[in-house]
Copies of this chain bind each other. A is one copy, B any other.
């Protein structure tokens, strides 16, 4: 079977841990892996890695590859969208790509940013779903609702499907009900949460798109034709400018509304896996054990008389006195303090922050790059101090700057440095000065992370002041002249 991860998060509800360029699926919420890594790992137990596909926005493509390639993921199985056009377009494009390999195979669709804890139950249910899908059904999983959540979609269980145990026709889909309806659904016992996990044959879904979403279907062949593999270390597939133009004009439609609610042969499998859509900071209360005062605290918190609160720090000391039902999220460059009952409004404040042009809506102070990451330690008016961490075997682009000089000191590991025509190795505590205009490149020939302390000095200190001459990751370079 094929497995397709939909990674479409926008990074607002988990701000300030998530950012526009680092949405929920690319960060760690629980455990040691990011959410997309945990999702991929779960699927690799079901099917070989070459059958794992992923659809995401092009601005997240390199970072997604960087996170998944260590798990064996094939970068060319990543399909990058130029803009978000909801799940029907993403699924349609993925199905068109898979049709080239085997249109009769089943594809599973999984959100990148949900948590599923009971892996064994999940795997057993997927196997059953694949069997049902092979019979030409559109199959969806339903989770047992245990509270009248108004933020979810509900599926009403219909007649049992003969020949299968515990498989039902889906009688009705209801998107985000009001509280009274939601409570009624929970009490009824025949309603299930729509987990956004689907199974169908490639040919089945394409046929449904042809019938129900013809405005999408008519472009799929053309879009497939315009999907181009990128150059460099992560050759993911991206629509060329013409393809991007077509994609942008596609209808903005969810697969639930556009297909599932209208199709005839829709089956639902109730699933007892522990499922969590990780929809807001309050989710942490489901994922972590509370202390005796009902708090979920990260480390280095000192509290007095505080209850029912969630604190997510990153090591800085947080002291609380008398707080109640608060969410506190502390990151190096932004702090969120939110009433727990207003957690859904975090996205509103992120909109304001974005409108005000503050960088905290978009980026972390630690910026991940295909070769590793850099962290801004101090930004002065005429100086900028960064720690640069280069992963083993990786190299930055060959580049120069018009407005700044750079001074590097190796903190750990060994650096191979090109400075104009000279190439030399620098060990721990050794330094080098890179004057303005000099062509330079850092690489890490060793097998541990190379850390460099960089001091930039100049009148203009912007990320954009990079003239690239060569790049290992396919990023645009200056035409040789």
Contacts and interface: CB of A to CB of B under 8 A. Distances in A.
A159 interface: no
A317 B346 contact: no
A287 interface: no
A345 B322 contact: yes
Contacts of A184: none
Nearest to A15: B319
A385 B453 CA distance: 8
Interface string A324-363: 1010101001111111011101101110110010101000
Given A16-B319, A326-B337, A339-B321, A455 B348 contact: no
A407 B429 contact: yes
B455 A411 contact: yes
B431 A431 contact: yes
Given A383-B453, A453-B383, A334 B319 contact: yes
Q: How many copies does the complex hold?
A: 2
Nearest to A435: B429
A174 to B, nearest CB: 29
Given A378-B387, A453-B383, A337 B328 contact: yes
A428 interface: yes
22 contacts: A302-B352, A302-B356, A304-B342, A304-B345, A317-B334, A317-B360, A318-B334, A319-B337, A321-B342, A322-B345, A323-B338, A323-B339, A330-B335, A337-B337, A377-B385, A380-B411, A380-B451, A383-B453, A385-B385, A385-B387, A385-B453, A409-B431
B323 A337 contact: yes
Interface string A115-152: 00000000000000000000000000000000000000
Interface residues of A, number: 59
A183 interface: no
Contacts of A328: 335, 337
Interface string A282-315: 0000000000000000000011110000000000
Contact of A338 (B316, B321, B341): B321
A405 B429 CA distance: 8
Contacts of A334: 316-319
A412 interface: yes
A382 interface: yes
Contact of A317 (B326, B343, B353): B353
A118 to B, nearest CB: 33
A227 interface: no
A425 interface: no
A377 B377 contact: yes
B321 A336 contact: yes
A387 B15 CA distance: 30
B341 A322 contact: yes
A365 B305 CA distance: 27
Contacts of A453: 383, 385, 453, 455
A336 B304 CA distance: 11
Contacts of A335: 316-319, 328, 330, 335
